[in-house]
Amino acid sequence: MNTRRKFLQDTALLAGTFGLGANTVSAGIIPKSTVYLDKLTDASGKYALAPLPYAYNALEPVIDAKTVELHYSAHHKGYVTNANKAEEGLAKARETGDYALIKHYEKELAFNLSGHMLHTIYWSNLSPTGGEPSGALLAAIVRDFGSLNNLKAQMGAATSAVEASGWGILGYLPATGKLLVLQCENHQKLSVWGIIPLLVIDVWEHAYYLNYQNRRADYIANIPKILNWITIAARYEVAVATS
Ligand code: MN3
């Protein structure tokens, strides 16, 4: 069996399509028992909320416990619920042949499923300990942005300048083999087809307002203190290996 195929099989077994790299996991960098997977569905195929990989207060003082609790258990959960409702509405439409509400359900699906996906990645992007990128990911950052500082500056500026509710995103585009920084409005606008998000920063007000009020830039400036570069690198390894 060739190495790439074996890697893909191992990766699929351990982590699912969007999960963490088998090499990182099997190397013991992340214990299997604590790996947080970007898994969007449960065993029945319904969208489901995965457990938070840490306690609500684990990200303090950068993000306070109440914000994490509300963000995860109310906001993220709401996107999961509404993505399932959209799927149910579309199933009913197919069953009855009545597509009068097609625009509504397709829009709901894009918004809520994208919200579910980005929040799932967001939780795994954060950790109480923080760190810095290294290895293949750092090399790609230097190749595509010139330096880690350039990436941080562009990512910070792009994320701060998102109009209203949205995200800053570092992604990998298989079609070019390059990393890109994008802004995202809501959960699904301003993206590029095919991009695989590696690092996402939520700048909806619900992500920071209890603690930072209108100081979005302060929240963004503090995020690097709690970035989990191990899971970001693992996501990059999978993105490169599967494309
Ligand atoms: Mn959010």
Ligand 1 centre distance from Cα of residue 204 (Å): 6
Ligand 1 centre distance from Cα of residue 49 (Å): 13
- Alpha helices, DSSP H only, in 3-147? 3-15, 22-26, 65-70, 77-96, 102-125, 135-145
pLDDT band at 24 (very low <50, low <70, confident <90, very high): low
Ligand 1 centre distance from Cα of residue 115 (Å): 7
- The pTM (predicted TM-score) of the whole model is 0.86
pLDDT digits (tens, 9 = 90+) for 189-205: 999 999 999 999 999 99
Non-local CB neighbours of 217 within 8 Å, separated by 6+ positions: 156, 160
Ligand 1 centre distance from Cα of residue 4 (Å): 35
- What does the pLDDT read at residue 192? 95
Ligand 1 centre distance from Cα of residue 203 (Å): 7
Q: Describe the strand order of the beta sheet including 166-173 as a list of residue ranges.
A: 178-185, 166-173, 196-202
- What does the pLDDT read at residue 35? 38
pLDDT digits (tens, 9 = 90+) for 70-106: 999 999 999 999 999 999 999 999 999 999 999 999 9
Dist. CA 194–CA 41, nearest whole Å: 21
Q: Both tokens of residue 237?
A: 């390894």
DSSP H or E stretch at residue 239:
helix 229-241
